[in-house]
Chain A
Amino acid sequence: MSATEKTFAPQIVAFCCRHCAYSAADLAGSARMSYSPSIKIVEMPCTGRANVVEILHALEKGADGVAVAGCLPGTCHYIKGNTLAKHRIDHVTELLKTIGLEQQRARMINVSAAMGAQFVAEFTNFVDTIKTLGPSPLSGETSNTRVGSQS
């Protein structure tokens, strides 16, 4: 890994459902597990609330990656909010292809409230993916300018 890649801190917007993903993030925090501080969590009642326009806006405004994090399949507190969210993320990745952005910049993540470690692992994996891709061409940043503390 080159010096520039080490310092690039991807700006990630994470739409997290209150019941599972957000709780898992809390648990990770309480357990002092560390993960990238440049993940901006947006809490929502259910990932079913996340819509395509908002995900696109996040990327348009320069987010290097957008994740939608919700309950494990079959356990959504609102029955199928996470199923709808997955459907929409799939649609977003198709759109990204025609727009000209890398499809890997959008992702669906599923964790339960008890899975603090899993939350950290999933997001670390996502951050690594984004690091490989580099800053979003829409952010106006390069690897040199998009820096933050070590993740």
Chain B
Amino acid sequence: MIVAEQKPLNEIKSMLKGCKKVLAVGCGTCVTVCFAGGKQEVGILSASLRMSTDLDGEAVNIDETMVQRQCEKEYNAPLEADLEQYDAILSLGCGVGVQSLAQQFPGKRILPALNTKFMGYPAEHGVWEERCQGCGNCVLHITGGICPVSRCPKSLFNGPCGGSQSGICEVDEETECAWHRICENQLNLGLFDEMMEIQPAKDWSSARDGGHRRIVREDVRIPHDGKA
């Protein structure tokens, strides 16, 4: 799922400068599950901001609301009726949610309360780890189910570098060496040939490097009836 975390309070406060009344909008999907932008978090952030701006002598009035999923315009539509009174919307959605609101309500400043970090895995309650970067060309069948693009800081494709020590990455003693685990899995799964093959240079054009990406599924699109 998409994993995000809240920006520091002071950073969010500085975004609110000049605002008198703001609507904080949470999202009921990914950011609820990673405790960054759900109902509880909207409540905590809004109370914190109201108190803090009041103490600063520049009180900002913050109303609170939730939508089921901020990236879907149908869920955001009911917000439109009451927007006029607000100087800005403080979105606790992921980057997609923020941009969706901006697209849907042009002319309204949408402020991001969160930093969207990665597509990740809930390792334990309260801990999320990066697992996927959306490179657009999955090789998990070769690497025994562990992604070398997102889990190796050098995105290596041909085995661990010389910095791998006791299964730990040279970058950080908390980080597992992904390639150490890949080797284990490849051996367990009978993928020795894949391990010894020189995996060719990756075509990064399927990733962000190739430019802004778009998927069109004609089989799923609703056909036009011919009218404008």
- Which A residues are closer than 8 A to B by beta carbons? 51-53, 56-57, 59-60, 95, 98-101, 137-138
Contacts and interface: CB of A to CB of B under 8 A. Distances in A.
A99 B40 contact: no
Given A51-B40, A98-B9, A98-B10, A56 B54 contact: no
A137 B47 contact: no
A52 B51 contact: no
18 contacts: A52-B40, A53-B40, A56-B44, A60-B50, A60-B51, A95-B9, A98-B8, A98-B9, A98-B10, A98-B52, A99-B9, A99-B48, A99-B52, A99-B55, A100-B51, A100-B56, A138-B51, A138-B55
Contacts of A59: 51
B120 interface: no
B201 to A, nearest CB: 46
A5 B51 CA distance: 25
Say whether chain A's binding surface is mostly helix, strand, loop, or mixed: helix
Contacts of A60: 47, 50-51
Interface residues of B, number: 14
B28 interface: no
Nearest to A57: B47
B95 interface: no
B159 interface: no
Interface string B41-67: 001100110111011100000000000
B42 to A, nearest CB: 9
The listed residue with most A CB atoms (<10 A of its CB), out of B9, B50, B51, B56, is B51
Given A60-B50, A99-B51, A138-B54, A53 B43 contact: yes
A59 B50 CA distance: 11
Contacts of B9: 95, 98-99
Contacts of A52: 40, 44
Nearest to B40: A53
A100 B47 contact: no
Contact of A137 (B8, B50, B55): B55
Contacts of B52: 98-100
Given A59-B51, A60-B50, A100-B55, A53 B44 contact: yes
